[in-house]
Amino acid sequence: YPTKSPVRLFWRNSLDCLKALFSNPLFSESIELTPQQIYKTAERLVRVYGKWMSGDLAWRMQVSVVLPECTILSSDKTHITNISGGKATHPLLISLANIHMDVHNKASSNAFLLTALLPIPDFIHPVKCMKSLLEDCL
């Protein structure tokens, strides 16, 4: 369907982003690479789940080769320009689930890397509800 302006997708390889996070020396003390099981008592009757590495998925991933479950993807609509055209996009951010939460919560730690800018196209259609439907489907 036609749009008011050409749709451009800006992206970079997500594996390169994950390699950059793993090799970042700032995260050397805040990345957990070994899963753990924490129990309330010595009899190991009640297990405590808190961090991501204390969950069952982390234990199952120890035997897998590919680790897609340990990534976090985040996106939210962001306005790029308000004055000239009101351009908006959805930035797609990627991070690792085994980075400590206190590091994730600091915006200055750069624990999330920009992987893609997903455009929000403005479709040209004479029927307004069809235009909205096209935007929602995309």
**Residue-wise pLDDT tens digits, 78-129:** 777 766 666 778 889 999 888 888 888 888 888 899 999 888 777 777 777 7
Smallest CA-to-CA distance from 114 within 90, 131, 86 is with 90
CA gap 62, 24 in Å, rounded: 22
Q: Are 73 and 96 in contact (CB under 8 A)?
A: no
- pTM (whole model) above 0.85: no
- Provide the mean pLDDT of the chain: 80
Report CA-CA distances (Å) from 69 to 12, 53, 73. 20, 12, 10
**26-66, pLDDT tens digit by residue?**
888 888 777 778 888 888 888 888 777 777 777 776 656 55
**Around Cβ 56, how many Cβ atoms within 10 Å?**
11
